[in-house]
Amino acid sequence: MRYCRFVVLAGFLTVGWAANAQDDLSGPDAFASIADREKRAAALFEEMGKVLQHPRCLNCHPVDDTPRQGDAMQIHNPPVVRGEADFGAAAMRCNTCHGSENVAYTTGEGSIPGHDPWHLAPKEMGWIGLSLRAICEQIKDPERNGGKTLRDLVEHNARDGLVGWGWEPGEGREPAPGSQEIFGALTQAWVAAGAGCPTD
């Protein structure tokens, strides 16, 4: 474990972070005045995009086999790959260094992120480099979202622990905007408005 901490400290620590306040993400009420249902859905998803396109989400949603890390989304150091079932390669599984919770460095500022389980999103759910519209189309497609219905998506965004980690990322990382509660409420409102996507 000492090896992992040293390498991660050398390549992972970022400075100049700041915790976001809840008001960095507007709730559904901010979009209630948009009468056109399709435009309201698109506006709601654009607000959701502040979370979906934040490093806390993108780092674990690569379109390739390499996770990113830190607020600058640098390539993971030490080098790791997706491996079997998105949990890393043999002898270098994600849980080799990532435990069930965040662990502060014993020296210096920062932490090793953790959650049980800790893993990459499936490759078909990769978002890095995709437009918000492409992410929207992907996220509601059961062929590419793990077989989830729109109702499942609401539950996932509102209550899933690994999603929630984005707002409790440990020392040295900027949290995702807003809160999981607001993100879940936005998802619910987006689904209720027809789950339409923004235009590119």
- List pLDDT tens digits, range 129-144: 999 999 999 999 999 9
Least confident of 5-14, 27-36, 157-166, 186-195: 5-14
Residue 17 DSSP class: -
The string of pLDDT tens digits covering residues 143-176 is 999 999 999 999 999 999 999 999 999 999 999 9
Cis before residue 117, ω within 30 degrees of 0?
Answer: yes
**Angstrom distance (rounded) from CA 150 to CA 195:** 8
**3-class secondary-structure state, position 103:** strand
Token reading at 96: 């080799």
The string of pLDDT tens digits covering residues 39-83 is 999 999 999 999 999 999 999 999 999 999 999 999 999 998 888
Does pLDDT of 128 surpass 90? yes
- Residue 22 pLDDT grade (very low, low, confident, very high; cuts 50, 70, 90): low
> Looking at this protein, which amino acid is placed at residue 114?
G
DSSP per-residue letters across 46-92? HHHHHHHTSHHHHTT--SSS--EETTTTEEPSS----BGGGSEETTE
Can you tell me the mean pLDDT for 112-123? 94
**Angstrom distance (rounded) from CA 137 to CA 198:** 10
> What is the per-residue pLDDT for 187?
98
**Taking Cα atoms as reference points, which of 112, 121, 129, 24 lies closest to residue 73?**
129
Half-sphere exposure of 53 (CA within 13 A, CB side): 15
Q: Are 65 and 124 in contact (CB under 8 A)?
A: no
Can you tell me the mean pLDDT for 107-120? 93
Residue 14 DSSP class: -
> What is the per-residue pLDDT for 85?
77
- Tallying the residues shown for the chain, one arrives at 200
> What is the per-residue pLDDT for 23?
64
Rounded (to 5) percent helix, strand, coil in the chain: 40, 5, 50
Q: Are 113 and 165 in contact (CB under 8 A)?
A: yes
Cis before residue 78, ω within 30 degrees of 0?
Answer: yes
> What is the per-residue pLDDT for 175?
97
Q: Is pLDDT larger for residue 14 or for residue 97?
A: 97
pTM of the full structure: 0.86
> What is the per-residue pLDDT for 13?
33
> What is the per-residue pLDDT for 1?
32
